[in-house]
Each structure stands twice: as structure tokens, then as C-alpha cells.
Amino acid sequence: DSGVTQTPKHLITATGQRVTLRCSPRSGDLSVYWYQQSLDQGLQFLIQYYNGEERAKGNILERFSAQQFPDLHSELNLSSLELGDSALYFCASSVQGTGGGNHYGYTFGSGTRLTVV
């Protein structure tokens, strides 16, 4: 158990629908990062939050949004879903903006597998 909790583990939904993915960071970590991993691609950075504020944005579609709450958990909202949105969505956390813990890197959750049918 990495300490980063993602729910749900699996999600199957229809095109056009909206889903919310949830992430609880490791205790003490202030930063949350969201990544998308498709079958033919590596880890694509979507967005980062630090202590409730948006810190960095990657290749995140306008149909996607995220937020980080006062208790530091984060939610990734995906709307108007398309077949191509099917992927693994990972959340990672770190103490500061760039890293923390025993190493200055990210701790990843187990991911949410989203299937759009």
C-alpha cells in the first residue's frame, strides 16, 4: 500500500456521461498530480494541485477539470466522455511541489481504470 488511495478502482460508463475520480494523498503530502495512461502512451501529465491551489497544467482537455479540497483530497471530473478517454488514471502525491518522503519523487496510487463504452 503506497498510502495514496484512489477510488473507484474500475469504472465503466457510456459515451457522453460524466464521472468523478477521487484521490486521497499520502498523509502529510500537500501536492496531488493527475496522470492519464492509455494503452499506446506513457504517463501523460494532466494537472497538479498544491495545498488547494492549481500549480501546473499539462495536456488536460477542457472537458476535464479537477480540484483539491481543504482536507487535501482531490477529484478529477471527466465529462462528455468519449471512447478515447478510456485509460488508466493515476493520482500521485508529494510533500512539496516537487517531492518528499524518502525520495524526492511522487508516490502513486493504484489507479482508476476507466472504460467508456
Binding residues for other proteins, rule: CB under 8 A, are 2, 4, 33, 35, 37, 39-43, 45, 48, 56, 88, 90, 92, 97-99, 103-111, 113
Nearer Cβ to other proteins (2/51): 2
Nearer Cβ to other proteins (52/99): 99
Residue 107 CB, nearest approach to other proteins (Å) = 7
* Burial of 110: CB neighbours in 10 Å, binned 0-12, 13-18, 19+: middle
Alpha helices in the chain, H assignment, sequence order:
none
Nearer Cβ to other proteins (28/97): 97
Residue 25 CB, nearest approach to other proteins (Å) = 13
Q: Supply the DSSP string of 10-39, one letter for each residue.
A: EEEE-TT--EEEEEEPPTT--EEEEEEE-T
Residue 100: DSSP 8-state: B
